[in-house]
Amino acid sequence: MSERDGLDNRNDDVRTIEEMTAYYEAQRSRFERIVRFRMDPVFRVRMDVADVLQEAYLEVLRRFEEWPQDGSLSPFIWLRQRVLQALWDLQRSHSREKRAVQRERSVPEVWDSDSTNVSLASFLVDDLTSPSHAAIKREDRRGLHAALEKLSELDREVLALRHFEQLSNVEAAQALSLTPTAASNRYVRATKRLAELVQSSVDDSRMRPEEKC
């Protein structure tokens, strides 16, 4: 992520719809990753990631005039907003068509799905580099999921943005409507708190056999 930090204040020279299209295609793999991560699991067998990205692109074409070219918002974050909106809209559409499958569940606005915690837990098992990394590897992923559940919604979202979506700090700040300093501080606190919770879980698991004796 440090390599991206140097790009935070650039507008990537996006001035025309053609340039935005080229940028969108260049970032396609990242958007695919985000859609897979954010998609509600009840729709995964019936919704295609490519369809979501196609709908998002049509929205980009319709709303390109709204793209701020003053450098206040990175093109990636603006496109990400279009992608997420397309995902939510398609899920709502499928929900109306298949209400029984959806079981009356509302579409999450940002972070309201257990599946997101599971995805983040799975990713962090392979990605986190901290003193508790080796311990996490040895423990069941459910332990990390339980630790994530104890974090605040915003802390989980910061971890998702920085680790899973691989946003830079400034991009994460824009996505969360925070200042870069606030986003950075939140990320540091979230990673520290998660490490503490995981270590506590590991320590508890090691104590249980002794307690049974």
Q: Is the pTM of this model over 0.85?
A: no
> Residue 13 belongs to what H/E stretch?
none
| Residues 27 and 117 reside in one and the same domain | no
Cβ distance 60 to 20 under 8 Å?
yes
Supply the mean pLDDT for the chain. 78
Half-sphere exposure of 12 (CA within 13 A, CB side): 23
> Residue 69 maps to which CATH number?
1.10.1740
Residue 125 confidence (pLDDT): 59
Measuring CA to CA, how many Å separate 18 from each of 80, 106, 146? 18, 36, 45
- In angstroms, the CA 209 to CA 213 distance is 7
| Residue whose token pair is 């910061």 | 158
Mean pLDDT of 155-162: 92
**pLDDT band for position 113 (cuts 50, 70, 90):** very low
| Residues 3 and 102 reside in one and the same domain | yes
Cβ distance 9 to 70 under 8 Å?
no
Mean pLDDT of 178-203: 89
pLDDT, tens only, 19-46 = 999 999 999 999 999 999 888 888 888 8
Query: Which range marks the domain in which residue 156 is found?
Result: 110-213
